[in-house]
Structure 1
Amino acid sequence: MSESTVDTNGRETTAEALRVGVVGGGYIGTVVGGEFDEHEDARVVALVDIDEDVLAETGAELGVDADSRYTDYGAMLDAESLDAVLIGTPHTLHYDQILAAMERDLHVLCDKPLTTDLDDARDLVERDAARDEILMVGYQRHFFEAFRRARDTWVEGDREPCWITAEVSQDWVTRFEGTWRRNPDLSGGGYLYDTGSHLLDGVLWSTGLTPEAVSASMQFVDDEERVDGRANVTVRFTNGATASFSLSGETPCMREHVRMWDEQGAIAMNSQDWEPSEYVEIDDTSGEYRPFLDRQNRETKVDAFVESVRTGEQPPATALDGLRVTAVTEAAYESARGDGSFVAVDPDDVALD
């Protein structure tokens, strides 16, 4: 461990602490930025947001000096000596902001989704493979013990799911009315591109399956049919498995349920009100088993990101994970805005091998 020092705000950090610039002073910037601020091997040294009130409030909360608060992203990158950036901005801004950070050889922790454009996602995967710095996507189910156990069964073990059902619901439509999440020029879509992105990623990551085609129907909340409030998505995989996703942003509270079946039984995961998922193993002979999960003391995104930067090891959620989600999401919107027919997914985009 490096020798510790105390910064000007009285926080103890290591002498070689990761210098982080936070991009966007909203929820992600505040919460995940706060995790950087509290980490002994990292410190937030700069902040950018286009809203000066947010900039002042979040800057004070994160302990960023007034002269290191910016309203222009490029100006922050040019003026500050940074090791990494945290990107917590509207979805459609991610690609350009990641690209600017890559051009300056910075490590990047970007909130989901990676991008809202398939070609952009492909480009970032290609660029990421050619450089030494870390690009991590903020999919937190990779840190939930339930999804890690599922991955141990399906990816690391000798079993393979054949039938999957997954659903998520919350009061998204009314809660975010008038915000950027309901503006498709900033969000890239609707509920599927927002909370739904986590559900798609959780299934794709924990099963390791390769999607080959996607069909969807959606109920849109805008006349241009760009912002979905509800969606039903079916994914066919190359091994013959299918997954049915049901998403509603029009319920009074949050619930998430996932079931993954094979010929031996199933894994079931349930969550409510954004708590880490419960985990149940269903066996065809012995019934249900609920192992103890420590759902409180889990690794954080920042813990994993700092460790990846330190070791050079692959982060828990990679650019390829982000590309896989974008490929399925874009195919779902194409299907829903058409006649609901299956839209093929390019295996070169989504295969893990």
Structure 2
Amino acid sequence: MSDVQLAVWGAGAMGGRVARAATKLSGVAVTAIIDSNYERAVAVASAVGAAPFRSLAEAEEVEAIYIGLPNAAHYEACLEAASRGLHVLIDKPLTVTLGEADQVVTAAIESRRYWMMGFSYRFRGEWRRARDIVKTGGIGEPYFVSDNVIEAYESTPDWYWNAEAGGGILRLQSHHVFDRWEWVLGRSVKAVSARTFVPADRDTDLAATLSVEFNSGMIGASALSFGVGYNAPPRVAFTIQGTHGSIELDESRRLLVSTQSGTTHELFDDDWLLTEIADFVAGLRGEDRGQPSIEAGRRSVQLAEAAGRSASESHWVEIGDLDE
């Protein structure tokens, strides 16, 4: 079986990581690094033995592509990749708006190629283990989930805090939150209420709170915040409470499961990025490993858009009966 010829579109921090990780996998050849900043493309390409390009149109020897561009660029990039007939791995969010997501899903289906969302948490051992525990009834019937992410970095890409470029905490983090809630819990969000903090000197949100109701009746809450201009250790605190126990996850990749039998501790150190790329390659070769589909990407865009509407209009937004 010949190697998959993979292009990486976006030579930023994540694009560089994907390119380097892909070179460690058998059956994959990183052939192109694409970035409008040609010097940046050259830097990543030289490190992985690929050819640098300024645009996808210039890269001919490509059959699959990873899209890791600023959020607002995803829509056009996806349509171009679909028109080229490429297999696509795209980082969240799929697009900025639901209307764009619908068009991308249609284009992907018509391309008859394999598309996968890069929801990174789905490829981490501790999150997969938590999902298995919920599915097998290990903590009984879940009735509450809390999911908090607090980060701070001295330097971030400018587009992170540019609304026109698709920045802001809701667009950077809520897609992860909504997707892992529905994926881990196996339950659909029915309604969402959100509040955001937008500093006077910026045009997009640095902090947000989310409250949700699931179709099952359980409830959830999330606090998301990003500090700019200084570094601080990232904090993740995820908890599910059920009728017979609880699950906790944190930034150390520690999984705690508490039941009447006591509390168990597990630490994970698997390479989730290698797993993500390997699952993408397996998918385009026809192997179903339960990979996240672009329909799941559309769903997270829908929920993030509902959260944005709730924040701007100050009321709950009903999602409707949209179980996938």
- Give your verdict on TM over 0.5: yes
Correspondence for 1:57: 43
The Cα offsets for residues 106-151 of structure 1, whole Å up to 9 and x where unpaired, read as 1001111111111222333344455542111111111112211221
Q: Which of 226, 233, 236 is 1:253 aligned to?
A: 233
2-side partners of 1:222 and 1:116: how far apart?
23
Does the residue aligned with 1:19 lie in a helix, a strand or coil? strand
2-side partners of 1:213 and 1:53: how far apart?
46
- The residue correspondences of 1:70-85 to structure 2 (distance < 5 A) are 70-76=53-59, 80-85=60-65
Alignment partner of 1:121 is 2:101: yes
Structure 1 residues 235, 153: CA separation in 2 closer, same or farther (over 3 Å shift)?
Answer: same
Q: Which of 292, 303, 306 is 1:317 aligned to?
A: 292
2-side partners of 1:344 and 1:96: how far apart?
29
Correspondence for 1:167: 148
Correspondence for 2:33: 47
Residue identity over aligned pairs, in percent, reads 26
Contact 1:33 1:44 in 2 (8 A): yes
- Normalized against structure 1, the TM-score is what? 0.83
**CA shift for structure 1 position 155:** 3.7
Does the residue aligned with 1:193 lie in a helix, a strand or coil? helix
Q: Aligned AA for 1:280?
A: L
Q: Aligned AA for 2:293?
A: T
Q: Which of 194, 203, 218 is 1:241 aligned to?
A: 218
Correspondence for 1:184: 163
1-side partners of 2:269 and 2:23: how far apart?
23
* Long gaps (5+) in structure 2: none
2-side partners of 1:88 and 1:51: how far apart?
14
Does the residue aligned with 2:33 lie in a helix, a strand or coil? strand
Moved more, 249-258 or 26-35: 249-258
- Normalized against structure 2, the TM-score is what? 0.90
> Between Structure 1 and Structure 2, which shows a larger proportion of strand residues?
2
Q: State the superposition RMSD in angstroms.
A: 2.2
Q: Aligned AA for 1:112?
A: K
Correspondence for 1:202: 180
- The residue correspondences of 1:226-305 to structure 2 (distance < 5 A) are 226-250=203-227, 252-272=232-252, 277-283=253-259, 285-290=260-265, 292-296=266-270, 300-305=275-280
2-side partners of 1:55 and 1:308: how far apart?
27
The Cα offsets for residues 239-281 of structure 1, whole Å up to 9 and x where unpaired, read as 1111100111128220101111121121111114xxxx21111
**CA shift for structure 1 position 73:** 2.8
Q: Aligned AA for 2:298?
A: L
- The residue correspondences of 1:118-157 to structure 2 (distance < 5 A) are 118-129=98-109, 132-155=112-135, 157=137
Q: Aligned AA for 1:347?
A: D
Contact 1:132 1:312 in 2 (8 A): no
**CA shift for structure 1 position 232:** 0.5
Alignment partner of 1:211 is 2:189: yes
Moved more, 241-250 or 309-318: 309-318
2-side partners of 1:317 and 1:43: how far apart?
23
Correspondence for 1:6: none
2-side partners of 1:175 and 1:343: how far apart?
34
Contact 1:215 1:335 in 2 (8 A): yes
Contact 1:214 1:343 in 2 (8 A): yes
**CA shift for structure 1 position 197:** 3.0
The Cα offsets for residues 139-177 of structure 1, whole Å up to 9 and x where unpaired, read as 1111112211221133455844211111010105x532x
Does the residue aligned with 2:303 lie in a helix, a strand or coil? helix
Does the residue aligned with 1:334 lie in a helix, a strand or coil? helix
Alignment partner of 1:330 is 2:305: yes
Moved more, 256-265 or 189-198: 189-198
1-side partners of 2:22 and 2:194: how far apart?
38
Contact 1:134 1:314 in 2 (8 A): no
Structure 1 residues 157, 122: CA separation in 2 closer, same or farther (over 3 Å shift)?
Answer: farther
Equivalent residue pairs, number = 319
Q: Which of 66, 69, 92 is 1:112 aligned to?
A: 92
Contact 1:24 1:88 in 2 (8 A): yes
Structure 1 residues 313, 105: CA separation in 2 closer, same or farther (over 3 Å shift)?
Answer: farther
